[in-house]
Amino acid sequence: MAEKKIKILIVDDIPEARERLQKLLAFESDFEVVGMASGGNEGIALAREYLPDIVLMDINMPDMDGISAASELRRSVPTAGVIMMSVQGEAEYIRRALQAGARDFLTKPPPTDELYATVRRVAEDMRSLSVLVAQSERDEKRKLEVQEDRTTHVIAVYSPQGGAGKTTIATNLAAALMREGTRVLLVDCDLQFGDVGVFLNLKPQATIVELIKSVDDLDTDLVNNVLVAHDSGLRVLTAPLRPEDAEYVPTAKVPLLIEKLRGLFDYIVVDMNSRVDEMALALFDMASRILLVLNPTLPALKNGLAAMSLMDSLEYPEEKTQLVLNRVTPDLERSKVAIAISAFEQKLRRKAFAVIPMDEKKVLFAVNRGISIVAKDRNQSPARELIAMADSLIASLAPKEEAPASSQQLQAPAKQPASRLGRLFGGG
Ligand SMILES: Nc1ncnc2c1ncn2[C@@H]1O[C@H](COP(=O)(O)OP(=O)(O)O)[C@@H](O)[C@H]1O
Ligand SMILES: [Mg+2]
């Protein structure tokens, strides 16, 4: 591999000293002398222009001395590692040089081996330092902060059918909602068999179990530490790692936790299981949208109808519950499927919000590599349809011209949940 050369700037007022250094450095193929200056001021100007990795800086120069120049460079060209050079090897000089931000010190004239070794070591330090700086800048950008005026939309991805593609839809929707400046959280609420972590190849240090424990006094630092960030910047709260650990998650606290995380995100996508229990009802209530994921099959139509009539009995506005048809095969039985889609739309009394084609290969490819489908070939099915679904969702949730943002209106008041479940299913 061709290593990047170490760019070096020489600053010394004595021409012979500059030339000697230049000659010595020219022997080594990984060094490149990008410029030479005869004083502090010129050195700073050249450093700004050439952005060297290393500045070999003499201390005693007539215009601006090396120590002042070094402290100016620390501010204006922080990526340059300054190596101070002086005939005086006194402790006081060395101390002042290091204080000014110099990375190392050489006595003049430096022994050749020492010169080479010092240049390489400081260049290496500067490189790892710049990696760290870039990393911390990225972390800083990703840091979650509460934003009081943020409208957070909870999107519940639900299906009465197991294996309909809830997790596939939820992970890809969350990934597709990500864009610069948008904060998205994906929560795996399939507490026993949640597999969002597997779908995205995440190794969480902590799961919903740990966050639920502190739900009563959550602070932003804890949330920042616990929520794993996918490479895309998407935050993920994974389900317990083992099914038996689900019992450590009191289901009543899950909606409370999501409520508390609201101010930190623009979208919270919730991947659910098929059960309709208290937790599911509370999540439905808090959602701006419920995506009802169905496959175009007869049993799915029957279950879909039951689920939709449940939503109706909860008195949600019509646009709150949307139909997402998944695993739709366009070829083979084109006509039959077309009928199936229209049958779904007719029975469920709404247009399909999204129709996601069946594509075993692409879906499996993505899952096996722990990436989202939408991360690859964005113009091809099914990535295209998944991205279009995210776009429609964003558009449909954007504040309307008059009537301010309606997330409030869409949330049905949580009314005595204990009795609701019984009433819904005709019990007590
Ligand atoms: N559009 C699709 N095309 C092909 N396979 C799909 C599609 N959507 C989901 N699958 C596959 O179906 C299976 C179940 O999907 P999953 O998202 O885990 O469903 P759920 O979360 O509803 O149980 C998975 O193996 C997944 O890879
Ligand atoms: Mg699932």
d(CA 101, CA 168): 52
Residue 7, H or E segment: strand 6-11
The reported pLDDT for the residue numbered 428 is: 41
The reported pLDDT for the residue numbered 49 is: 94
The reported pLDDT for the residue numbered 312 is: 87
d(CA 259, CA 255): 6
One-letter amino acid identity for 251? Answer: T
For residue 356, how far is its CA from the centre of ligand 1 (angstroms)?
11
CB-defined site of ligand 1, < 6 Å: 159, 162-168, 326-327, 356, 358-360, 363-364, 367, 382
Token pair 């990008």: residue:
34
d(CA 241, CA 238): 8
Ligand showing the shortest atom-to-Cα distance for residue 159: 1
Name the nearest CA neighbour of 56 among 137, 118, 128. Answer: 118
What kind of architecture, by CATH, is found in domain 6-117?
Answer: 3-Layer(aba) Sandwich (3.40)
For residue 277, how far is its CA from the centre of ligand 2 (angstroms)?
16
The reported pLDDT for the residue numbered 401 is: 67
d(CA 19, CA 44): 19
**Domains 6-117 and 153-422 equal at CATH topology level:** yes
pLDDT digits (tens, 9 = 90+) for 79-101: 999 999 988 777 888 888 889 99
pLDDT digits (tens, 9 = 90+) for 353-400: 999 999 999 998 888 888 889 888 889 999 999 999 999 999 999 987
**Residues with Cβ–ion distance below 5 A, ligand 2:** 166-167
The reported pLDDT for the residue numbered 332 is: 45
Is 264 within 8 Å of 145 (Cβ atoms)? yes
Tokens of 196: 């969002």
Tokens of 293: 């994921």
Q: In sequence order, what are the residues at sequence separation of 6 or more whose Cβ sits closer than 8 angstroms to the Cβ of residue 24?
A: 112, 115
Among protein residues, the one with the nearest Cα to ligand 1's atom 16 is 165
Paired strand residues for 82: 55
Name the nearest CA neighbour of 13 among 35, 34, 37. Answer: 37
Contacts 24+ apart (CB under 8 A), 301-305: 301/340, 301/343, 301/344, 301/347, 303/160, 303/161, 304/160, 304/344, 304/347, 304/348, 305/347, 305/348
Among protein residues, the one with the nearest Cα to ligand 1's atom 9 is 165
d(CA 7, CA 307): 66
Each domain of the chain, given as residue ranges in start order, spans 6-117, 153-422
d(CA 343, CA 350): 10
Q: What CATH number is given for 153-422 in this structure? A: 3.40.50.300
Paired strand residues for 211: none
For residue 274, how far is its CA from the centre of ligand 2 (angstroms)?
9
> How many of the other CB atoms lie within 10 Å of CB of 177?
24
10-residue stretch averages of pLDDT, the chain, 428 residues long: 84 96 96 96 95 95 92 92 87 86 92 96 90 73 78 97 95 92 93 91 86 88 81 88 91 94 94 94 97 93 93 92 92 59 91 94 87 88 96 92 52 52 60
d(CA 190, CA 228): 17
The reported pLDDT for the residue numbered 15 is: 96
The reported pLDDT for the residue numbered 336 is: 59
Is 39 within 8 Å of 62 (Cβ atoms)? yes
The DSSP code for 181 is T
Task: List the 235-237 sheet strands across, edge first.
Answer: 228-229, 235-237, 184-188, 267-271, 153-158, 289-294, 321-328, 352-357
Ligand showing the shortest atom-to-Cα distance for residue 171: 1
Token pair 């689900």: residue:
246
Q: Pick the atom of ligand 1 nearest to 171's CA.
A: 17
d(CA 175, CA 416): 35
Strand 184-188 and strand 153-158: pairing?
unpaired
For residue 189, how far is its CA from the centre of ligand 2 (angstroms)?
9
Is 240 within 8 Å of 279 (Cβ atoms)? no
Task: List the 81-86 sheet strands across, edge first.
Answer: 31-37, 6-11, 54-58, 81-86, 104-107
d(CA 217, CA 222): 10
The reported pLDDT for the residue numbered 149 is: 82
